Chains A and B, each alone.
Chain A
Amino acid sequence: MEAGAQNVAGAQSEAGAVERRLNSREVVFLLCILSLIALSLFTAFVTRMYHKKVHTLADDYFSYGEERFQAGDTAAALTDYQNALVYSPNNTKFQFHLAEALAAAGRYDQARPYLLALLSEAPGSGEVNLQLARIAAHNGAMSDALRYYQGAIYGEWPDDSVAMRWHIRHALCEYLIAKKAIGQATPAVIDLAENTPDGDVGKQKIVGQLLLVTGQWNRAQILYRALLTADRFDEEALAGAGRAAFELGEYKDALEDFNRLSPERRNQPDIARYDEMAHRVFVVNPFLGGLSQQVKAQRAANALALAETRAQSCAKQAGVSLAETPPRSELQIAYATNEKMSPDWSARDLQRFPDRLDAAMQTTFDIENAAAKTCGEPTGDDRALWLLGHSRMMVNR
């Protein structure tokens, strides 16, 4: 009995100890939860204050950076942007502006990683693509530049996306032209032309110039003629239209356009050169309507004589004998034809037999072409004949 009572007492005291331990744990656990709540609230408060402070610092540094960048102090702006990024490292706007400032300072290799990081986050960003395109263009990575330019053209722009896209297309055209990649520039310029608003004369003129540079004479002529319908005295349009007409072999139209220019503009070297050459072509051309048969024959005979002289000087320059039989080169063949036919192609004969005019002139063109191939493009009246030959060829085609 006694032992049983002892057992009961022992069990009770053990249960009491357990209970005490349990209670103690309970209190500690409760305190833990309370302190956890208190610490969470404190941390939330402190974090909020910290974020507020940090945002203020980041914004302030960014504002300083903007001011300094606008003022042209790129080095100081860079430090400010970097400081801003310390407090807001994931801010894409800050990153972009830092990259922009780095690029402006010529530190392209440093700008590029930020831009690539931004691009990975926003592949459709027009601004980032454009900056990357500029850097790639600077580094001579043409394929990358084209890719990024395309990304910029078709990317997202925060505001005035149409105007921005036009500017990027323009920049792309300029870049390709500067790189002498005319084959790639041509579709880019056409794309630019198609995306140029009709009413924007300034942009139309820029496109016209690019069309001329890339040799798209027809499109250029259409564009300039359209501009002239709006303002028939627009000098730039006249000059462009004249140039396009010249390149298309429409020398009469070219001269007309050039004649409508002011003397100052007409005497500027770029116009004067074409004006003078158009004149020459006009003067040597025996095919013009309204000329008497005598003048036509005389012009043809003069042209033949000129071509003969050109052939001889070219052969001498190239060390080629024109007397070689049988003639093998184009120049020798054309010259031999002229030699053979010259008795029939005197000014008098050509006047008497107008049907010989075409053949005589064709021989002249052949000689000028062959000489141009052997000795380079001609100058003066030879060039006028050579150009005339080309324009005739285009017309025949």
Chain B
Amino acid sequence: MVTAPVPELPDETPLAAGAATAAPSAEPEAAPVEERVPSRFRLRERWGTFTHQVFTMQEDRFFLLLAVLIGVFGGLSVVCFRLAIEWTQIALLGSSLVPSFPRVVLAPTIAGLVVAFLAMRVFPAVRGSGVNQTKSAVYISNGYIPFSTVIGKFIACALAIGSGQSLGPEDPSLQMGAGIASLLGRRLRLSQDRLRLIAPVGAAAGLAAAFNAPISAVLFIVEEVIGQWSAGALGAIVLAAVSSVVTMRAFLGADSLFRVPPFRVAGAFEMLAYVVLGIVGGFASLILLKWIVYARPKLMALPRWTHYLQPAAAGLLIGLIGIKFPQVMGAGYAIVDQAMHGQFTWKILLVLAALKLLATGFSFLSGAPGGTFAPTLFIGAMLGGAVGAIEHHFVPSLTGTVGTFALVGIGTLFAGFLRTPITSVFMVIELSGNYTAILPVIISTMVAYGISRAYQKVPLFDVLARQDGTVLPSLEERREMMSLAVEDAMCPANVVVCEPGETITEIAKRAEAAPEMALLLRMRPGEWWLLDREDVMRLAPDASPTTTAIRAKSKGPVPYLFPDQTLSEALAVMADWAMLPVANRANLAKLEGMLTLEDTLKAFRKAPKEEN
């Protein structure tokens, strides 16, 4: 008997069940009344019927409906947020790509002071990117995100990013989406389970609208926030992401974030060029990672009054950089677009990548609210373009343009820095609306991801969470834990396998020869029983030559496993059994090995451990 997972029953809340019985009786009476009553009453009745149908539906269906609503709210809020940033930027830095001298220094510095005041005094939860806050909502506070955080994030981020801080609007959009979803969930009195899952739904909506990339948003939430594909919220996440993007496009248009000139990527040999980019990108992302991981606790440990000045100091430094290189200020999408159109030489690209890395470090470490996604894209694009231009210098026959490398660089840095490789690949495709670069992106991304993992064991968001005093689950680790299979833990089949026709005497002889081994009776393919060794030994002296194994005491049928099943599944069926047989999927009579609880625990102990 294999214990199959029990199918989840429909989530019937008392409310749903109670209301379901009431509904049919109400409907037949409605028709005659409708003919008599005035139209305003009919309207009210219809609204009543509609809401009744909505609120009496099963909660998982209502959850999906709510996801659409959250998506639309998320989309609208992101549109307003983006416009707020743009307007702030025009107001503070001017409309030109090259801001004038006093503005370029004064705007980020003064705005830094205001932002610090807001973050310290008015909206204390707005510091940082917002990804961890959303994860905290899922794992710690049962989906609760105060709505003041949404407002605070909106104002503070618009001011910080608009004034030129080297941060992006994506992560804040994610948190704002989560905050809106949390508010709706609470007000609509969702059950505890659903409330916990609603933050990722809103987060997906916010991120999807900010990037104009629904697939990437869903993947990011799955990879980074909920950490698994099988979560009950997945359908809602997808719905929210799609509806938010549709809403956003209705207001801001459907164009991709970046426009990449046409290119082609030819030949297997050329892929080596992208391996080089992956290596460079991997180490560049490590520099940023290590810097943040090292410097953040030190800056946080400084006296509290310095926290009021840190964003202003970061703003001042960025402003000084901006005098010569204004490109590093703000989110920098226009500059990424220029890089993709080959507007910079490799030297400029390299300088911009280095300066943006510095500026992003300053902004993020200072505690200014804002995201790291956009700066990561910027650094990746510049670095990718530089690597591409240098490679073109030495290998002029490369078919990929500087723009191609810039595009691939985006995914590379993203994978290395944020450690979400699948999101990175799809993000590049969605941001550019171009599928041509898929192979180079995969190659480069995986190389960068591998390097980042090799030299920085704990991903950025996990480190940040620990620095903030919370221990959020490491989703990277969780992904790996899930991959531990029965075959990783099972031992060779050190059992005496007996057949039903075998005599007790023969079995006893074999049991005597192997005193440590259990006796397993194979009744038929896929049906195993554990023979009681003592009973066999007891029966053996007096047994007639025709007494078979069936006469002995046995326990079964024993559930069996397959080598590819996960250890978590194995633990679920192990329950009262000291050991379980592991059978071959093609031949159920063939024993591949045995699994004991001890072996299972040993395998878990051997699995990669988190770095403290």
Binding site for B on A (CB under 8 A): 14-15, 18, 21-22, 24-26, 28-32, 36, 39-40, 42-44, 46-47, 50, 53-54, 57, 61, 79, 82-83, 85-87, 89-90, 109-110, 112-114, 116-117, 119-120
Contact = CB atoms under 8 A, between A and B. Distances in A.
Contacts of A30: 51
Given A110-B341, A112-B342, 11 more contacts: A25-B55, A28-B188, A29-B55, A36-B69, A36-B73, A42-B80, A53-B90, A57-B90, A89-B334, A113-B401, A119-B262
Contact of A114 (B56, B189, B261): B261
Interface string B303-327: 0000000000000000000000000
Contacts of B51: 22, 25-26, 29-30
Contacts of A46: 79-80, 83
B261 A28 contact: no
Q: Across chains A and B, which 6 residue pairs bring their CB atoms closest together, nearest first? A: A117-B261, A113-B261, A113-B341, A120-B262, A113-B342, A116-B261
Interface string B228-253: 00000000000000000000000110
A43 B73 CA distance: 11
Contact of B87 (A18, A21, A50): A50
Contacts of A117: 259-262, 341
B343 to A, nearest CB: 5
B86 A50 contact: yes
Nearest to B54: A29
Contacts of A24: 189
B357 to A, nearest CB: 23
B529 to A, nearest CB: 50
Interface stretch (B11-19, B284-292, B568-576, B596-604): B11-19
11 contacts: A14-B14, A18-B19, A22-B52, A25-B188, A26-B51, A39-B76, A46-B80, A61-B95, A85-B337, A110-B342, A120-B262
A18 B14 contact: yes
Contacts of B217: none
B83 to A, nearest CB: 5
Interface in B331-364: 334, 337-338, 340-343
B184 interface: yes
Contacts of B40: none
Contacts of A79: 96-98
A39 B79 CA distance: 11
A89 B188 contact: no
A47 B86 CA distance: 11
B15 A44 contact: no
A43 B338 contact: no
A47 B69 CA distance: 20
Contacts of A109: 342
A167 B292 CA distance: 60
Most B CB within 10 A of own CB, among A36, A43, A114: A43
Q: Determine chain A's interface SS by DSSP, over half rule.
A: helix
Contacts of B52: 22
A15 B341 CA distance: 65
A18 B259 contact: no
Interface residues of B, number: 45
Contacts of A50: 83, 86-87
Contacts of B86: 50, 54
B255 interface: yes
Contact of B341 (A21, A39, A114): A114
B409 interface: no
B188 A29 contact: yes
Contact of A15 (B18, B72, B262, B343): B18
Contacts of B401: 113
A36 B19 contact: no
B262 A83 contact: no
A353 to B, nearest CB: 71
Nearest to A115: B261
B76 A40 contact: yes
B136 to A, nearest CB: 25
Contact of B72 (A21, A31, A36): A36
Given A18-B14, A50-B87, A117-B262, A86 B334 contact: yes
Contacts of A39: 73, 76-77, 80
A90 B259 contact: yes
Contacts of A15: 18
Given A39-B73, A83-B97, A26 B55 contact: yes
Contacts of A110: 341-343
Contacts of A61: 95
Most A CB within 10 A of own CB, among B15, B18, B95, B96: B95
A30 B44 CA distance: 12
Most B CB within 10 A of own CB, among A21, A26, A113, A116: A113
A120 B261 contact: yes
A117 B340 CA distance: 11
B21 to A, nearest CB: 10
A43 B189 contact: no
B187 interface: yes
Contacts of A112: 342
A18 B15 CA distance: 6
Contact of B83 (A29, A47, A57, A85): A47
B53 to A, nearest CB: 11
Interface string B83-100: 100110010000111100
Contact of A44 (B251, B259, B338): B251
A68 to B, nearest CB: 14
B108 interface: no
B341 A43 contact: no
Contacts of B184: 32
Nearest to B72: A36
A90 B255 contact: yes
A26 B55 CA distance: 8
Most B CB within 10 A of own CB, among A18, A53, A82, A85: A18
B403 interface: yes
A82 B18 contact: no
A40 B69 CA distance: 12
B69 A43 contact: no
B97 A82 contact: yes
Contact of B79 (A26, A47, A116): A47
A43 B261 contact: no
A52 B184 CA distance: 33
Contact of B18 (A18, A25, A36, A43): A18
A110 B403 CA distance: 11
A79 B255 CA distance: 24
A47 B341 contact: no
B568 to A, nearest CB: 37
A71 B403 CA distance: 31
B15 A22 contact: yes
Contact of A21 (B15, B73, B340): B15
Interface string B53-80: 0111000000000000100110011011
A43 B188 contact: no
Interface string B400-423: 011100000000000000000000
A28 B187 contact: yes
A22 B54 CA distance: 10
B261 A22 contact: no
